[in-house]
Amino acid sequence: MSNKIKLNLFDLKSKENLQNIHFFFKTKINKWFDAKGLPKSEFFEYRNCPLCDEKSSNEVFAIEGFSYHKCIACESLYTKPHLIDGVLDELYSDGTYQHYQDSLVKSGSGLRKGVLEQRKFKQLQQMFSQEKLTLLDVGCGGGTFLEVCHENGWKVEGIDPSPDSTNSKNIKVQHGDFNQIKFDKKFDVISFWGVLEHLSNPIAALKKASQMLNKSGMIVFEVPSADCFLSEYLNKTTFSPTRYIESGRHNIFFSKKVINNISQRYGLSIEFIESNGLDIQTILLEEFSPEITEKIINMQDTINNLMLGDHYRVFLRKK
């Protein structure tokens, strides 16, 4: 398996951009709340756990009007009340989410494509005996992962809800909802990079993906972790982080327990799972000398190795 990358948050996203985008989205979602900061009924509804359908939960923290609950059954976190279906769609259709892409993701596109996306590709390639694979990237965004796989000879396609996502002439991209689009083919790999936490029904997406895999095919996804150091810190010292929570966009946080349950439910085996996080720099949000920064990054690497980083990366193989 490819070595982990020791990442400096501020090489990927500048402090100024993180703060500006955090404020931008905060003002955008104010209309979802009343004068007292309480959720408006036309935007929210009460639901069972979106990952296991358990009714009971306990609030663990509240941030910017959103209440985050821990499911008593699968131990995942989710917002309760939950945004009604369709509310987030406006953020994609009116250009709001594209502003996020332009300001944050594209600013670090060189590092993403040259280092991070290359590692994703190498991790997947090592799990197959054949070199040329077929890939569907759900929520492909700017398309850098698709580009890397395409440049290495894979046959790739993408799906994204935003009409302003990648428009590469060499790569087929459909715009719309993955759960609503019909496919007449199967794939070796279906990927969800930072996607499932945005969906109202991520389980339906994973179920559909499992049915679209070739024999011994693989689903890979990266999602915010419910088990991480940062989540525990928020439980004890609530503040509004500029990443990880992303109020209104990250509404579901996966536990290791629910990942095991999902794999068993849909005839998948966990080929590999790791945690990748930026917990410490997210909490501190300060830039230090190179010597101190190196110590912080090494501390984070230890947190990741203990499976306490703020995101899980999961590889599920079709049995």
Q: 167-190, pLDDT tens digit by residue?
A: 666 789 998 889 999 999 999 999
Distance CA(253)–CA(245), nearest Å, equals 9
Residue 207 has pLDDT above 90, yes or no: yes
CB burial class (10 A; 0-12, 13-18, 19+) of residue 217?
buried
Question: Quick check: is 305 in a domain?
Answer: yes
Q: What is the average pLDDT across 74-102? A: 80
Q: Does residue 200 sit within a domain?
A: yes
User: Per the domain annotation, does 189 fall within a domain?
Assistant: yes
58-72 pLDDT per residue, tens: 999 999 999 999 999
pLDDT for residue 269: 97
| Residue 191 CA from chain centroid, whole number | 11
| The predicted structure's pLDDT at residue 236 | 93
| Domain range for 298 | 9-318
What six digits make up the tokens of 7? 């990442």
| 31 in any annotated domain | yes
Do 119 and 112 touch, CB atoms closer than 8 A? no
Greater confidence (176 vs 78) lies with: 78
In a domain, 2, yes or no: no
Question: What is the tally of structural domains in the chain?
Answer: 1
- Domain of 76, CATH number, reads 3.40.50.150
At 21-51, the pLDDT tens digits run 898 888 889 999 999 999 999 999 999 999 9
Residue 271 pLDDT class (50, 70, 90 cuts): very high
Q: How far apart are CA 250 and CA 194, in angstroms?
A: 9
Question: Rounded to whole angstroms, how far apart are CA atoms 160 and 185?
Answer: 18
Asked if the structure places residue 4 within a domain, the reply is no
User: In the predicted model, what is the mean pLDDT of the chain?
Assistant: 91
User: Does pLDDT of 284 surpass 70?
Assistant: yes
- % of the chain beyond a pLDDT of 70: 91
Q: Please say if the pLDDT value at position 107 is more than 70.
A: no
Entry pTM: 0.94
CA nearest neighbour of 231 among 16, 39, 23, 69: 69
Domain contains 310 = yes
For residue 97, what pLDDT band results from cuts at 50, 70 and 90? low
Rg (CA), the chain: 19
Domain membership of residue 3 (yes or no) is no
Percent of the chain predicted with pLDDT > 90 = 74
- 235 has a pLDDT exceeding 80: yes
